């Protein structure tokens, strides 16, 4: 409404100005009049563009503030408008000084909001890159406070339920969350994206298109995982079964990593997803900066080969293949962070091996950053809360050290959480776990370390009871946890701004 009133107000302002009794030109009036014209010329194209592109809630709030300040400026009485001439007004020199200060204050607000909105566009556009130990976006530091929401493609493929995706992304954006990790796979089953090798459901694919489009709308970057280690949503077991159906003699599901036919199926899936052209935005996934990174597999494990050779060779081959198709996006392997049998750090593992190695797997060319997961309540379930927090701190410290000193790559904590299904669960204990992860991330970010962010498991919208797994977070349902999450968003944004300002000062 304010925006629609502006042309009328502008005409009224000029009419009032011409009717004022004036004798000389005020430097402040000339300056503010000139700046007002510049502001309008700069802002109108952006306003029109945002109407077409569907501004995020944060952008809309900035626009309302911007228009409110401009609206006040144009509604000033005729003796307080912005005429070319300086008017003889009641109050004399003191009155003129107050009016001048008000004009300059309002224009300062307008200009700051305008510059801030342009900076916001720059902050969410562009591809995430790595620079040494850090993520950068458009040359500025980028820190991730985010979440997992594996379910988004499935719900978005059903028009009657896709509002849950919009609601979750809107809530996340409102609380400062900037990265979401979700599945770009569903192999076999009733809601399959890929229902047989190389054959895809267009309806499900359009659900993923919607997820990418909505994430762009709300300024959230996506990590898209390409296959599951586990049976849910098909996973490696489904790929192996497809190969068996074609006559392949395959024993263990772990042959997913070594069988040539299965590997061919998976490469075909990589190519299909990465080169997909979004039916909503018209942008190919490989060209869309909304995507933060690709993930080769959710939690790869190969317990039949604890030497680590099978997974090491598989990651090497698949990383090279994906990068040959898309060299714009970052790539990570999807690792939980376990150390291999030959690693001296293996004693930090929670008592088991899975055929991966945090060091050698992440040293593979094409793997741009390391990942780590942490579920002390699953990994050491017989320990008390204090012991689990102690394990968590040590787990994060070891991986932070190795990412910084050995890998020399950024580290992202891509999964962590605490289940409310544990009989000992309390919100206080979950908050303590979140604060432990967040404090490690914050300290690393503040001091230039390798840990660049964390993503909790998992975010749900209201009305998704069937998706509750015990780890769910519904923003606002648990006020204390929501406050912990929101505070971390604020702290990481502040660090990014300070580092950006410091870098700018260093250039001058």
On whether the CB atoms of residues 325 and 285 are closer than 8 A, the answer is no
Query: What is the SS3 assignment for 497?
Result: helix
pLDDT tens-digit readout, 401-456 = 999 999 999 999 999 999 999 888 999 999 999 999 999 999 999 999 999 999 99
On whether the CB atoms of residues 442 and 495 are closer than 8 A, the answer is yes
**182, 181, 187, 152: which is closest to 266 by C-alpha?**
187
Over 70: is that where the pLDDT of 251 sits? yes
415 is catalytic: yes
Residue 57 structure tokens: 């809630």
Over 90: is that where the pLDDT of 316 sits? yes
> How are beta strands 179-183 and 221-225 bridged, if at all?
parallel
Residue 394 structure tokens: 């040590």
φ/ψ of 443, rounded to 5, equals -60, -40
Catalytic residue among 214, 255, 299, 332: 299
Residue 503's pLDDT band (cuts 50, 70, 90): confident
The pLDDT, as a whole number, for residue 87 is 41
Q: pTM for the complete prediction?
A: 0.78
The pLDDT, as a whole number, for residue 115 is 46
3-state helix vs strand vs coil in the chain, percent to 5: 55, 15, 35
Over 60: is that where the pLDDT of 267 sits? yes
On whether the CB atoms of residues 235 and 229 are closer than 8 A, the answer is yes
φ/ψ of 405, rounded to 5, equals -95, -30
Query: What is the SS3 assignment for 79?
Result: helix
Q: Using only the alpha carbons of the chain, give its radius of gyration.
A: 27
On whether the CB atoms of residues 74 and 10 are closer than 8 A, the answer is yes
Residue 123 structure tokens: 């902050």
Give the HSE-up count for residue 57: Cα atoms under 13 Å, Cβ half-sphere. 14
Q: Given the structure tokens 């024993």, which residue do they identify?
A: 251
Residue 267 structure tokens: 């490469």
Over 80: is that where the pLDDT of 96 sits? no
What is the DSSP-derived secondary structure letter of residue 276?
P
> What's the maximum distance between 2 C-alpha atoms anywhere in the chain?
97
> How are beta strands 128-131 and 140-142 bridged, if at all?
unpaired
Least confident range of 96-110, 325-339, 436-450? 96-110
Rounded Cα–Cα distance for residues 409 and 132 (Å): 6
**159, 137, 260: which is closest to 209 by C-alpha?**
159
Q: 488-500 burial, b if ≥16 CB within 10 A, otherwise e?
A: bbebbeebbeebb
Residue 207's pLDDT band (cuts 50, 70, 90): very high
Residue 100's Cα: distance from chain center in Å?
43
**91, 101, 74: which is closest to 10 by C-alpha?**
74
What is the DSSP-derived secondary structure letter of residue 256?
G
Over 90: is that where the pLDDT of 91 sits? no
Q: Given the structure tokens 């000062």, which residue do they identify?
A: 505
Catalytic residue among 255, 415, 429, 472: 415
Rounded Cα–Cα distance for residues 284 and 288 (Å): 6
Q: Given the structure tokens 């300062």, which residue do they identify?
A: 108
Reduce the secondary structure of 289-342 to three states and give it as a string: CCEEEEECCECCCCCCCCCCHHHHHHHHHHHHHHHHHCCCCEEECCCCCCCCCC
What is the DSSP-derived secondary structure letter of residue 277?
B
Least confident range of 1-15, 64-78, 139-153? 1-15
On whether the CB atoms of residues 274 and 224 are closer than 8 A, the answer is no
What residues does each domain of the chain span? 2-123, 126-507
214 is catalytic: no
Rounded Cα–Cα distance for residues 207 and 279 (Å): 10
The pLDDT, as a whole number, for residue 31 is 57
Residue 341 structure tokens: 């049998």
Query: What is the SS3 assignment for 121?
Result: helix
Share the mean pLDDT of the chain.
Answer: 85
Residue 286 structure tokens: 């490989």
Over 50: is that where the pLDDT of 149 sits? yes
On whether the CB atoms of residues 118 and 53 are closer than 8 A, the answer is no
Rounded Cα–Cα distance for residues 468 and 485 (Å): 19
pLDDT tens-digit readout, 335-389 = 999 999 989 999 999 988 999 999 999 999 999 999 999 999 999 999 999 999 9
Rounded Cα–Cα distance for residues 401 and 65 (Å): 44
Q: 265-296 burial, b if ≥16 CB within 10 A, otherwise e?
A: bbeebbbbbbebebeebebebbebbbbbbbbb
- Cα–Cα distances in angstroms (integers) from residue 388 to residues 373, 392, 406, 414, 434, in the given order: 14, 6, 26, 18, 13
Q: What CATH class does 126-507 carry?
A: alpha beta
Rounded Cα–Cα distance for residues 444 and 491 (Å): 12
């Amino acid at each position: 409404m304010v925006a629609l009133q502006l042309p009328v107000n502008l005409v009224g302002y000029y009419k009032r100005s011409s009717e004022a009794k004036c004798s000389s030109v005020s430097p402040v009036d000339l300056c503010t009049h000139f700046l007002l014209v510049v502001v309008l010329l700069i802002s109108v194209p952006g306003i029109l563009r945002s109407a077409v592109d569907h501004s995020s809630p944060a952008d809309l709030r900035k626009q309302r503030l911007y228009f409110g300040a401009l609206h006040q400026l144009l509604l000033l009485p005729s003796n307080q408008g912005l005429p070319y001439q300086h008017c003889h007004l009641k109050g004399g020199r003191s009155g003129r000084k107050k009016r001048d200060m008000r004009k300059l204050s309002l224009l300062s607000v307008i200009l700051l909001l305008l510059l801030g909105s342009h900076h916001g566009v720059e902050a969410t556009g562009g591809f995430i890159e790595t620079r040494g130990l850090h993520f950068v976006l458009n040359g500025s530091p980028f820190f991730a406070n985010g979440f997992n929401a594996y379910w988004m493609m499935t719900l978005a493929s059903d028009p009657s339920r896709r509002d849950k995706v919009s609601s979750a992304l809107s809530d996340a954006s409102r609380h400062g969350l900037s990265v979401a990790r979700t599945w770009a796979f569903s192999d076999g089953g009733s809601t399959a994206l890929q229902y047989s090798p190389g054959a895809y459901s267009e309806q499900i694919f359009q659900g993923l298109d919607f997820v990418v489009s909505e994430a762009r709308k709300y300024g959230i970057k996506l990590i898209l995982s390409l296959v599951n280690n586990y049976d849910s949503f098909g996973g490696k077991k489904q790929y192996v079964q497809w190969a068996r159906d074609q006559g392949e003699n395959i024993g263990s599901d772990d042959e997913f990593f070594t069988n040539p036919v299965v590997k061919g199926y998976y490469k075909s899936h990589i190519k299909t997803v990465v080169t997909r052209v979004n039916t909503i935005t018209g942008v190919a996934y490989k060209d869309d900066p909304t995507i933060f990174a690709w993930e080769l597999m959710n939690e790869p494990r190969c317990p039949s080969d604890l030497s680590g050779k099978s997974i090491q060779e598989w990651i090497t081959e698949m990383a090279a293949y994906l990068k040959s198709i898309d060299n714009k996006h970052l790539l990570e392997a999807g690792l939980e962070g376990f150390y291999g049998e030959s690693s001296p750090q293996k004693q930090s593992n929670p008592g088991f091996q899975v055929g991966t190695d945090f060091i050698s797997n992440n040293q593979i060319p094409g793997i741009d950053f390391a990942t780590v997961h942490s579920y002390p309540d699953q990994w050491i379930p017989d320990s008390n809360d204090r012991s689990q927090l102690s394990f968590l701190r040590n787990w994060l410290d070891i991986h932070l050290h190795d990412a910084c000193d050995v890998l020399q790559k950024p580290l992202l904590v891509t999964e962590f959480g605490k289940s409310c299904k544990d009989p000992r669960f309390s919100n206080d204990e979950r908050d303590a776990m979140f604060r432990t992860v967040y404090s490690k991330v914050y300290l690393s970010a503040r001091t230039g370390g390798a840990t660049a962010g964390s993503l909790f498991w998992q975010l749900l919208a209201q009305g998704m009871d069937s998706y509750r797994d015990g780890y769910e977070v519904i923003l606002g349902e648990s006020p204390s946890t929501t406050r912990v999450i929101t505070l971390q968003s604020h702290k990481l944004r502040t660090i990014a701004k300070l580092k950006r300002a410091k870098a700018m000062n260093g250039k001058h």
